Chains A and B, each alone.
Chain A
Amino acid sequence: MKKRLLALSLLISNGVLADTAYVTNEKDDTISVINTETLKVTDTIDVGMRPRGIIFSQDFRYLYICASNSDAVQVMDVNTHQIIHNLPSGEDPEQFALHPNNRHLYIANEDDAVVTVVDTEKRDVIAQIDVGVEPEGMAASPDGKWVINTSETTNMLHWIDASTQTLVDNTLVDQRPRHVEFTDDGKSLWASSEIGGTVSVIDVATRQISHTIRFKIPGVHRDKIQPVGVKLTADGKYAFVALGPANHVAVVDANTFEVLDYLLVGRRVWQLAFADNQTRLLTTNGVSGDVSVIDVDKLKVIKTLKVGRYPWGVAVKP
């Protein structure tokens, strides 16, 4: 306890204490651990086959890892970096979302056109929900009412009522929806369409598209602008959109939906995560095998660091 207090006081006196970022390397079957202050890889951990989606429990004690080719969600003890057990996940888990109840994981099973709901305490499947072809992105609303899944070939957002585990509505979006993200107030939902080249902003109350955001980078063919990862700042100011093979992250004004800037990062930028109290944004760059670090205040890329082969997912622990 004393130690903790000491650490806490250090944190307060220093103002900043480094976060720890965990990056899944899809082709290496490993996780790279990054100290966000020194921006160095401090550890590389062997995990299951083809790790992709990655998420922390709310208390940051556990790290859940989609080991797609092992057909499992692995649970890692964050203190020891040991895999302590696997959760039943259905086949080929790719992305997932943790419900605000900190207990139910909603897992997209890409090969089976289902979403599997797992109770992380009982380590039991509590429901499987039929969705469209190639389910991919997952998000839970902040109030816990909705869980959204995207299906890449059906091109829909599927609205799952978390109280009944049933699919109650669908919203058609542009080609190959990959990722969904709720705003902090839960009023809107941002969905990226990789092949459509757009981001749809959906009004949660009506479940209708309210805005469609398009991107244009001089010198980059429009077909190569393929939005995947999306992150929204808590202050409601910015949205960041990873543009895949366009090798840029778009900065969007979250209120006017105007694209403010494009930041050049590594090759095939995939997923995003904030660090250091949202002052930094990390990007996984699959083809170049590195992570770019963006200064959120200055909107500048400050560093790129090498991780494993095909970095995919990223999660950050304060």
Chain B
Amino acid sequence: MFAHQLYKKATAGLKHTLNFVKSRRVARLTLFCSLCLSGPVMADLQIPIAYIKQVSDESVVSLSVFQLPQNNGVAGAKLGIEDSNTTGRFLKHHFDLTVIEHAQPADLVAATLSWLKGNQGVLVLDVSDDVLQLLLSSPETSSMLMINATNQSDKWRQTQCRARLLHTAPSYAMLGDALGQFLLAKRWRKWFLVLGQSASDKAMAAAFERASKRFGTKIVERKTWTFDTDLRRSAQQEVPGFTQGDDYDVVLVADTDNQFGFYLPYNTWLPRPVVGTQGLTAVAWHPAIEQWGAVQLQNRFYDAYGRAMTADDYNGWLAVRAIAEGVTRTGESDPNRVYDYLTGDKFELAAFKGRKLTFRKWNGQLRQPIPLAHAHGLVSQSPQQGFLHPVTDLDTLGYDKPEVTCRMVKE
């Protein structure tokens, strides 16, 4: 018998004691101190946050395994609210989440603007480029703090950044660089690029091509996936021909909506790894991350929602945690003051990625390490060792200050 089995036997008798402990918790003997904090006197604060979610009105899921949970993203923001209120009860800060969901851009924008009329709050955005454009062009949002939690388009970080628009979601360029650095570290320099036809596929592919140029790797082939037949029963016959080539180290796939990338692993002409949006992926978060205390966050999320935490959930959690950190440290609920703190020198956020996260002042992007994972395991985390930067190696991921043409100056 193994030691842990012996141990399980020994602890069986402990169960009733633990149950007793749990029942005791219902009637806690003690009161927590909700009024006190050493330091400045804190006043009651209410912080309204709206989670703006653009839901899809059509089902484009190719396989049911890719079905996203209905509360994708929202659940992460809700956990962020719960965590922040646990902290807030010691300071008399209360965070409140309203979820606004619509499929049509016009409806979503109208509902958002109507919420803003009644609330001096912060918006957490889970929307497409179109909706983000509409929101940014509404005069009502010009003085509001908005945190983009899911949109990965580089233009919001490079050419169209704006004061009070922050991003917890990493951009395509950050993901591309994170993967590119890893491939270079492995000396896998010859890339066979396969991309889909959607706008986001092209944006992802452009990020891979940008990484290739930055790191001096070679894209030996660039092919657009054009199959319009269902390959579920014929991928083994079709994919080898499609990926035929003299030599490549990896097949790099840009299929952001999971339409075909899953056909590629194990079916390529040469026995090479598949990386990109399938196979080995660069992601903001992954259920297999357990380092850096992350297992606590994963468990907390699983206990609350009965499923694994997705990247969108994580970015929603981060957005709320950043807002709460701003309120906790300043003792103010004014979104402008919170924004000043978040983009100031004092802000830092612990977020289970092994180091502190901060915002890039020049484009509002949250600096963060990017995990590299396959379906059930964490492989690495970028920046890779040896990628140096005069300010912080985290700025080797994505558009760096000199490449950014927009300005964050307040109007």
Contact = CB atoms under 8 A, between A and B. Distances in A.
A221 B29 contact: no
Nearest to B33: A167
A113 to B, nearest CB: 6
A49 B2 CA distance: 12
A165 B10 contact: no
Nearest to B25: A128
Interface in A35-78: 46-49, 70-72
A128 B38 contact: no
Contacts of B83: 133, 153-154
B38 A170 contact: yes
A143 interface: no
Interface size bracket, A side? 35 or more
Given A49-B7, A151-B87, 4 more contacts: A133-B83, A154-B86, A170-B37, A208-B38
Interface stretch (A171-179, A212-220, A235-243, A277-285): A171-179
A70 B11 contact: yes
Interface residues of B, number: 43
A86 B300 CA distance: 26
Interface in B252-303: 293, 296, 299-300, 303
A258 interface: no
Interface of B: 3-4, 6-7, 10-11, 14, 17-18, 20-21, 24-25, 28-33, 36-39, 83, 86-87, 90-91, 293, 296, 299-300, 303, 328-329, 348-350, 354-356, 392-393
A221 B39 CA distance: 32
Contacts of A16: none
B20 A88 contact: yes
- Interface residues of A, dominant DSSP: loop
A261 interface: no
Contact of A195 (B4, B18, B348): B348
A263 interface: no
A130 B28 contact: yes
A197 B354 CA distance: 12
B355 A111 contact: no
Contacts of B10: 83, 86
B38 A175 contact: no
A102 interface: no
Contacts of B36: 168-170
A100 interface: no
Interface in A125-142: 125-134
Given A90-B21, A132-B86, A132-B87, A167 B30 contact: yes
Contact of A156 (B6, B11, B90): B90
A25 interface: no
Contacts of B31: 166-167
